[in-house]
Amino acid sequence: MHDIEQSLDTIKALYEEVVGTPAPDVEPESYAPFPPGVDPGRMVVAEVDELTRMVRAAASAPSPVAWVPPIDTVASSEGLIFKLDVPGVTRDELEVFVAAGELVVRGIREAPTVETGHRPLAIERSWGPFERRILLPAGAASEEVAATCRDGVLELRIAVDTSSQLEERKVRVA
């Protein structure tokens, strides 16, 4: 019985997390009967575990993006330099982090505003949320990323230890 009550509490918490409002009360007369031979307690616990797994997986999925900023990548003696065009995006609207061997840049550019009395004829500049993922090579010092944003260009610098990279060798195909 304790497992079922705990599962019902978990369902209510997941509902509130996903929907953003408290879970509604469900009247006992609206319950559906369990099929013959099914242990209701086990079924409830198994279903709640699956529901929890699905909610967690959805929460960690990449966010939908409206556009992807163009990027230039340059190798220097110190490492790699990435330059992303993000005009109209302030420093506060940028999020830069390293996760699972990738350098991730996220942000949002606000929708263009049209002054009263003006009529847009063409809107070509992208707006909305964006994300750019950069796969980091072996030897990248992911804990030491330097970021600067000036004149609509986000510059990211990361040191790369080239001595740790493996040498290239040819493989004979039989």
User: Minimal CA–CA distance to 96: which of 110, 86, 106?
Assistant: 106
pLDDT given at position 157: 95
pLDDT given at position 2: 61
Q: Which of residues 9 and 19 earns the better pLDDT score?
A: 9
Residue 168 and residue 170: Cα distance in Å, rounded? 7
Q: Which of residues 61 and 133 earns the better pLDDT score?
A: 133
- 71: pLDDT strictly greater than 90: yes
Pick the CATH number of 71-111+126-164 from 2.60.40.790, 3.30.750.210, 3.40.50.300, 1.10.30.50: 2.60.40.790
Sign of the CA dihedral running 41, 42, 43, 47: positive
Structure tokens that stand for 147 in this block: 């970021």
Q: Contact at 8 Å (CB) between 84 and 90?
A: no
Query: HSE-up of 53 (CA within 13 Å, CB side)?
Result: 6
Task: Map out the domains of the chain as residue ranges.
Answer: 2-60, 71-111+126-164
